[in-house]
Amino acid sequence: MVKVQNGIATREPIPDFLDQKDTPEAHASLLDLSWTDPTLGVQDAAWWPEEDVSGELGTNKKWSGESFVLDEERKVVLVKRKQVAMTAAEKAARDEALAADWMAQIAARRFQAETGGVIVEGIQINTDRDSQSLLTGATFAASLDPEYQIKWKAATSFVDLSAQQIIGVASAVRAFVQACFNREAELLDAVVDGSITAEMLEEGWPV
């Protein structure tokens, strides 16, 4: 809402003494304030809805200032924001912030893929960090004792694994996890060269 008084629009907040509920009825009541107490000083003022007509922000531009045009017929204030070129420092700060955001999103997506589990020889193996650590320990024991056997808790039920099978599962999980990190590295390279897209964030992960 923009204040309109004597044919001039200004960016002023709606006074606390006026009803500021975000409803069509409340907005309509602000279009004509002749009903208010004269001592409040807003009888000849109004707050009109605003409509942004600025268009798309240009490349390496930023918003700076705004101008108002009154649409008397519709009782709407047309707001057009000005665009100015960003400074080199501003562009660098923007790019740094965007890169940091992409890096955080990519790391989160890699963690989701990494810990989401993988199927090895028909067995759904959990790949959360605790499961990876337990599997590492089991693999060490299996490497010391070829006769070592365990009941491994898979995603759906327990399965019997021999020492050879333990090592095979661990190798497959290790390859799966590393592939997740490899994909993360590829996406980070795309951030650096500016080719990263939202679609890429969901592509290329191992299954």
Cα–Cα distance for residue pair 160/64, rounded to 1 Å: 67
Answer yes or no: is pLDDT of 21 > 80: no
Q: Domain limits at 65? A: 2-85
Terminal C-alpha separation, the chain? 51
pLDDT of residue 96: 94
User: What's the Cα-to-Cα distance from 32 to each of 16, 41, 75, 84, 117, rounded to whole Å?
Assistant: 17, 13, 11, 36, 63
| Structure confidence at residue 76 (pLDDT) | 96
Q: How many domains does the chain have?
A: 2
| Average pLDDT of every residue of the chain | 94
**111 and 197 share one domain:** yes
Per the CB < 8 A criterion, the answer to whether 48 and 76 are in contact is: yes
Determine, yes or no, domain membership for 207.
no
Beta strands 50-52; 76-85: pairing state: parallel
Are 105 and 192 contained in the same domain?
Answer: yes
Is residue 38 situated within a structural domain? yes
DSSP state at residue 200: G
What is the pTM (predicted TM-score) of this model? 0.69
